[in-house]
């Protein structure tokens, strides 16, 4: 069995439902993403179009992140998923340097590397990944690419000649496919990216959520004396400190983050 | 809003996305690589000098060489440790090693190397200061094992090569960063070790023979020259990969690392090359020490630049 993912970009309408479902399902902290939908505007006025590209871990068969991980925190499951064992991760960020798709992030709460696992915990119980369930147009197709009768295999066969993977020249053998993609949507160097003018370019978050640039001393002391409470990463609006308390927590500007 | 007007009308534009992660491996990893180059470089250069010259030509080399290496290696290991987001789990590298990772192999080799250097440092120190703690049983034991220094040294020299170069393999395994080509990085790591190894020894070579000092100047001159040529080759002629070209824009004119890169080249390579070439003909110890310091500063800046610029481009 080799689980794979396919996104039909002709169907995706950029609703970000998958992104939110992933955040909720996996309790992904603020300022971090396992799955994101990127908007790219193409063409010149009035002949313009906007493309939406969901981006997540490619679960490569020849995964550079798995190879560079010094402690096997990143490892293959039998079904082909590249999984993360956060209890073993030492936080060296080698995987972040190795992943050609920028799909791995350092969790600011656990201080360990994390990424999309195709919702391995849901797969185990026979459920589909959260993003697949949430997609209103069934643009996300998930299944066993080694099974010729699976939906994903049939979809791939039906769209022969229009199937793409990201950065095939890296020889990572990704198990994440796109239909209807092109250079502009899949090549990050093909389009202009101007910092400061898109949404989410300058993130602010509270001290209570966990600061990725926290002090070096904290890294030693937190595991011994305890750090943030588990629920702090999921504060609802009702739980948020009021204005005066908020002032006590200096919000951090993460320029370029 | 100036730069908005620079968007080409025909170019696709990202209008909504998450922020770029920015620098992941920053100054601590730069310091790590820089300190490791000193730690192994003094051993490699020291071994060459010991092979070529008499001990009397370099009276303090036997104890200062391992001492400098030991200090540098501890700086390297310290910053390796504190750069981890989970430093207390460093032990997992030894308990759950994953041998395909150059980080694992490097950590094991560097630990062994540092252990052997510590042995040499202790022996070298007690031999040099024969009157220090003369009646102490530990000092007596160490002095009685003095011959171990010469027995361990060949293994240390042998191990210094892979310890120098393994970082290049980590960079090669960083598949996302096209700029780091394994062949070039391996050679650059070796040259960096020879550069700062000779520079560090120049600072302690006041009482050495003229010939030994000339050799240090020669090693410095040739290592900076070859390293500079490699940087220039990559700077001017890397047309083959789009990612490399995009990365090098940060050091080309107008790039945010342009100033830092050329400061590194001038301080770490151009100045030491001319001073050491001149000093090989007419020795000037003060100028050689100045060249040694600029080499150390320049290499740090060069390593910092080369480490950070590939992390600036968007990967997805």
Pick the range with the lowest mean pLDDT from A241-250, B157-166, B215-224, B299-308: A241-250
Å between A141 CA and nearest CA of chain B: 20
pTM listed for this prediction: 0.89
Kindly report, residue by residue over B217-236, the tens digit of the pLDDT.
999 999 999 999 999 999 99
- From the number of C-beta atoms within 10 Å of its C-beta (0-12, 13-18, 19+), residue A212 rates as buried
The alpha carbon of A163 is separated from its chain's Cα centroid by a whole number of angstroms, namely: 21
Q: What is the CATH number of domain A3-186?
A: 3.30.70.20
A235 pLDDT higher than 60: no
DSSP 8-state symbol, A5: E
Å between A82 CA and nearest CA of chain B: 15
Percentage of chain B surpassing pLDDT 90? 88
Q: Cα–Cα distance between B62 and B64 in angstroms, integer?
A: 6
What domains, with CATH codes, occur in chain B? 24-311 (1.20.1630.10)
Å between B101 CA and nearest CA of chain A: 4
Q: Which pLDDT band, with edges at 50, 70 and 90, does A47 fall under? A: confident
CB contact under 8 A, B16 and A191: no
Closest in A92, A191, A216 to B12, CB measured: A191
The pLDDT of residue A196 is 64
Give me the mean pLDDT over the A82-88 stretch: 96
**A199: helix, strand or coil:** strand
CB contact under 8 A, A184 and B12: yes
Q: Which residues of B touch A108 (CB under 8 A)?
A: none
Tokens of B286: 């003060």
Kindly report, residue by residue over A162-171, the tens digit of the pLDDT.
999 999 999 9
Name which of A202, A4, A23 is nearest A105 in CA terms.
A23
Q: What is the DSSP string of A116-182?
A: --SSHHHHHTTPPPHHHHH-TT--EEEEETT-TTSHHHHHHHHTTTSEE-S-GGG----SEEEES--
The pLDDT of residue A203 is 56
Å between A111 CA and nearest CA of chain B: 5
Q: Which residues of A touch B93 (CB under 8 A)?
A: 70-71, 90
CA angle A63, A69, A71 (to 5 degrees): 135
The pLDDT of residue B7 is 63
Whole-angstrom distance between the N-terminal and C-terminal Cα of chain B? 25
Closest in A98, A106, A198 to B14, CB measured: A198
- From the number of C-beta atoms within 10 Å of its C-beta (0-12, 13-18, 19+), residue A158 rates as exposed
CB contact under 8 A, B315 and A188: yes
CB A129 within 8 A of CB A122: yes
Å between B241 CA and nearest CA of chain A: 11
CA dihedral A54, A57, A59, A60 (to 10 degrees): 100
Give me the mean pLDDT over the B156-184 stretch: 96
Q: Which residue has the higher pLDDT, B186 or A43?
A: B186
CB contact under 8 A, A90 and B96: no
Q: Which residues of B touch A101 (CB under 8 A)?
A: 176, 315-316
Q: Which residues of A touch B20 (CB under 8 A)?
A: 195, 256-257
Domain limits, chain A: 3-186, 204-254
CB contact under 8 A, B315 and A100: yes
């Amino acid at each position: 069995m080799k689980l794979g993912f396919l996104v039909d970009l002709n169907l995706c309408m950029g609703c970000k439902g998958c992104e939110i479902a992933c955040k909720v399902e996996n309790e992904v902290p603020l300022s971090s993403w396992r799955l994101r939908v990127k908007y790219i505007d193409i063409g010149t006025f009035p002949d313009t179009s906007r493309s939406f590209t969901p981006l997540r871990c490619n679960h490569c068969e020849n995964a550079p992140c798995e190879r560079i991980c010094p402690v096997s925190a990143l490892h293959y499951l039998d079904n082909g998923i590249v999984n993360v064992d956060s209890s073993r991760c030492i936080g060296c960020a080698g995987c972040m340097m190795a992943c050609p798709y920028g799909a791995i992030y350092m969790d600011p709460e656990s201080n360990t590397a994390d990424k999309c696992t195709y919702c391995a915990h849901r797969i185990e119980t026979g459920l589909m990944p959260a993003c697949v369930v949430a997609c209103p147009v069934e643009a996300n197709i998930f299944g066993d690419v080694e099974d010729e009768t699976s939906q994903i295999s049939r979809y791939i066969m039906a769209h022969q000649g229009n199937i793409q993977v990201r950065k095939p020249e890296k020889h990572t053998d990704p198990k994440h496919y796109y239909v209807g993609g092109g250079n502009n949507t899949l090549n990050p160097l093909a389009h202009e990216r101007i910092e400061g003018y898109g949404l989410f370019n300058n993130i602010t978050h509270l001290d209570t959520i966990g600061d990725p640039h926290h002090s070096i001393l904290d890294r030693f002391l937190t595991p011994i004396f305890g750090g943030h409470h588990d629920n702090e990463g999921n504060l609802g609006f009702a739980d948020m400190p009021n204005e005066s308390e908020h002032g006590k927590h200096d919000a951090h500007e993460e320029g370029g983050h | 809003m100036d730069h908005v007007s620079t968007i080409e009308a025909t170019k696709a534009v990202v209008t909504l996305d998450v922020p770029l992660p920015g620098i992941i491996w920053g100054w601590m990893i730069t310091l790590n690589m820089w300190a490791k180059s000193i730690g192994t470089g003094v051993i490699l250069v020291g071994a060459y000098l010991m092979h070529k010259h008499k001990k009397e030509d370099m009276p303090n080399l036997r104890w200062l060489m391992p001492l400098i290496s030991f200090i540098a290696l501890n700086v390297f290991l310290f910053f390796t440790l504190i750069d981890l987001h989970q430093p207390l789990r460093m032990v997992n590298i030894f308990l759950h090693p994953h041998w395909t990772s150059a980080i694992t192999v490097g950590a094991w080799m560097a630990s062994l190397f540092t252990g052997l250097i510590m042995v040499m440092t202790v022996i070298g120190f007690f031999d040099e200061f024969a009157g220090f703690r003369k009646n102490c049983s530990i000092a007596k034991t160490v002095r009685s094992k003095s011959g171990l220094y010469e027995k361990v040294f060949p293994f240390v020299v042998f191990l210094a090569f892979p310890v120098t170069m393994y970082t290049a393999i980590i960079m090669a395994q960083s598949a996302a960063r096209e700029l780091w080509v394994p062949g070039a990085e391996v050679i650059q790591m070796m040259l960096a070790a020879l550069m700062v190894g000779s520079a560090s020894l120049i600072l302690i070579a006041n009482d050495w023979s003229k010939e030994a000092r000339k050799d240090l100047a020669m090693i410095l001159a040739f290592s900076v020259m070859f390293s500079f040529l490699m940087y220039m080759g990559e700077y001017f002629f890397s047309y083959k990969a789009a990612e490399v070209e995009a990365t090098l824009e940060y050091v080309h004119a107008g790039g945010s690392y342009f100033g830092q890169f050329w400061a590194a080249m001038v301080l770490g390579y151009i100045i030491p090359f001319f001073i050491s070439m001149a000093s090989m003909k007419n020795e000037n110890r003060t100028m050689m020490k100045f060249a040694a310091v600029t080499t150390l500063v320049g290499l740090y800046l060069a390593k910092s630049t080369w480490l950070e610029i590939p992390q600036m481009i968007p990967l997805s």
